[in-house]
Amino acid sequence: MTQQPSPTQDAASAAKPAGARERATMEDVAHLAGVSLKSVSRVVNREPHVSDTLRAKVEAAIAALSFVPDTAARSLAGSRTFIVGLLFDNPSPNYTMKIQSGVYRACVEQQYHLRIDNIESDRPHAEVEAQLDAIVRNSRCDGFILTPPLTDNIQVLAFLERRNIRYARIAPNSELGRSPCVAIDDAAAGALVARRLWNLGHRRLGVVSGPPLHRAGDRRRTGFLAAIRELDPAVVVAEADGLFSFESGIAAGADLLARDPRPTAIFATNDDSAAGVMVACGRAGLRVPHDISLCGFDDSWVAKSVWPYLTTVYQPIEEMGYVAASLLIDRGETGERQVMLGFHLVERDSLAPPS
């Protein structure tokens, strides 16, 4: 049986006279949808307060005409560049790659371009300001996505606000209402690890912290310590400083293993440093998990590139990037500003009861 063309397809054909240019325009969409050019522009530019009826009409016409918005025209019409900036100051390559992947996916869906820059936020105040100024002048971004530790850097936030530049944050520690943001409950995740190690029978515990400026890492540590104090206030947890890097994990692991008494279980607040702790265990002639149980955080590719495979907390890093970009591009259309995502413990081979 021959399929009959839909009314929209018939109208689309009629809207394009013989000899007309092949590429549909916004005028063609407006004519087919029976709405004004301004209405089409509002739908295409994802402006707020557009009715569902109007959006459905315009999107049906766009589909029928295979209309592809012109980025330059959209920019002129909406005072936007359709470029999103992603700012990093994070030593973990796995984390940055996953965030980048999520942000890029959102940009492709919304027909935005992505620009990536790095800021050394531990530099003197004037140098940080100069880095930000150069990025803003050269990027022409509609807004920026801030990743830890930039998410809680007051200097960065104040700079963007002075310039009236929109931003969204990933895993901020405070002032959640200051901007659109996405996070997990890092403290609860740290507590989850503490209870799991406790239930296995471990009472001599160690923790490897994150960089001083990385508040999400500090929340994981704080949640871990608070849960242990709740279980038994008399237990003292050994602590060593880490920087979320493989090398710092080796140093922190060697520090903890030299303590007396030596911990029977160690929680590293990211997978890179946990892998370093595993190396330190091997150098000391200790086996994981027979002599030392070990847990990381992130569930990155690192967790399955070491042996034994690493038990770790899964956080949806790529999804966090996607949500942050969507919140930034959305411009408040949905009214959603703070999004909390879930986490869970992924048990592999690096945990066992103490021997």
**Does 2 reside within a domain?**
no
Q: Does residue 273 sit in the same domain as residue 326?
A: no
Q: How many domains does the chain have?
A: 3
Q: Does residue 116 sit in the same domain as residue 210?
A: no
Q: Does residue 98 sit in the same domain as residue 156?
A: yes
Provide the CB-side half-sphere exposure for 303 (13 A, CA).
Answer: 25
Q: Does residue 170 sit in the same domain as residue 286?
A: no
Around Cβ 239, how many Cβ atoms within 10 Å?
Answer: 18
Helical spans, DSSP H, in the chain = 7-15, 26-33, 37-44, 52-65, 71-78, 93-110, 125-139, 154-162, 186-199, 215-231, 246-257, 271-283, 317-330
Q: Does residue 235 sit in the same domain as residue 218?
A: yes
Q: Does residue 206 sit in the same domain as residue 282?
A: yes
* Rounded distance between C-alpha atoms, residue 69 and residue 66, angstroms: 10
Q: Does residue 268 sit in the same domain as residue 329?
A: no
Kind and range of the H or E run holding 166: strand 166-170
Look at residue 24 in the predicted model and tell me its pLDDT: 81
Q: Does residue 193 sit in the same domain as residue 304?
A: yes
**What is the mean pLDDT for each group of 10 consecutive residues in the chain (355 residues)?**
50 47 77 86 75 88 80 51 91 88 94 92 91 89 93 93 94 88 96 98 97 90 98 97 95 97 97 97 97 97 96 97 93 70 98 95
* Rounded distance between C-alpha atoms, residue 342 and residue 315, angstroms: 7
Q: How far is CA 171 from CA 24, 141, 220, 246, 320, in A?
A: 42, 22, 12, 22, 9
**Does 1 reside within a domain?**
no
CATH code of the domain in which 26 resides: 1.10.260.40
**Does 212 reside within a domain?**
yes
Hey, what amino acid is at 317? Answer: I
Final residue in a domain of this structure, among 77, 93, 124: 77
Q: Does residue 200 sit in the same domain as residue 302?
A: yes
Q: Does residue 72 sit in the same domain as residue 112?
A: no
Domain of 115, in residue numbers: 81-184+318-340
pLDDT in tens, 96-128: 999 999 999 999 988 899 999 999 988 899 999
CATH code of the domain in which 256 resides: 3.40.50.2300
Nearest Cα neighbor of 331 from 179, 160, 176 is 179
Q: Does residue 37 sit in the same domain as residue 71?
A: yes
pLDDT in tens, 266-317: 999 999 999 999 999 999 999 999 999 999 999 999 999 999 999 999 999 9
Q: Does residue 38 sit in the same domain as residue 94?
A: no
